[in-house]
């Protein structure tokens, strides 16, 4: 199995993106120590955003590592290849940006980014999972 150059570039970009998750962890330590003031809603959303970013970036890399072998039709490949990485941007953004400000009592309209990210994640997983399953069955 050979990985395509554009896939290697995307995987490298995703790996470098994990550095931003690392800096987010540092931010969370500052929130936890009270250096950065945050209410309970903000603390919970910041933690959720941080966790989703890390997990979805690693999941993206895992999918990309095998998707080239599936030889999917173009549109299917596009959704399988980019659905999860896009969700890795949108979902954490929804968590973080929807609770910005001083002592918010509920998330703002930017929470919509979370739900768009959920849709992207679902479509990406559906396309990648189905595509890989069909490729495996046809090769068996």
Residue-range domain boundaries for the chain: 5-139
Return the pLDDT at 139: 85
Return the pLDDT at 49: 96
C-alpha span between 42 and 108 (Å, rounded): 12
Return the pLDDT at 33: 93
With a threshold of 0.85, does the pTM exceed it? Answer: yes
Return the pLDDT at 100: 95
For 107, the 3-state DSSP assignment is: coil
Return the pLDDT at 36: 93
Return the pLDDT at 1: 64
Return the pLDDT at 71: 86
- Per-10-residue mean pLDDT, the chain, length 140: 87 94 92 94 96 96 91 91 96 96 96 98 97 90
C-alpha span between 92 and 27 (Å, rounded): 14
């Amino acid at each position: 199995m050979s990985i395509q150059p554009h896939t290697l570039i995307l995987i490298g970009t995703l790996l470098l993106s994990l550095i931003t998750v690392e800096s987010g962890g540092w931010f969370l330590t500052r929130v936890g120590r009270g250096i950065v003031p945050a209410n309970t809603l903000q603390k919970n959303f910041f933690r959720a955003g941080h966790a989703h970013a890390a997990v979805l970036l690693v999941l993206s890399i895992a999918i990309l590592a095998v998707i080239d072998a599936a030889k999917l039709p173009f549109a299917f490949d596009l959704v399988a290849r980019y659905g999860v990485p896009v969700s890795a941007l949108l979902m954490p953004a929804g968590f973080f940006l929807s609770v910005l400000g001083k002592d918010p009592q509920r998330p703002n309209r930017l929470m919509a980014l979370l739900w768009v990210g959920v849709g992207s994640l679902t479509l990406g997983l559906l396309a990648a999972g189905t595509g890989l399953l069909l490729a495996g069955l046809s090769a068996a």
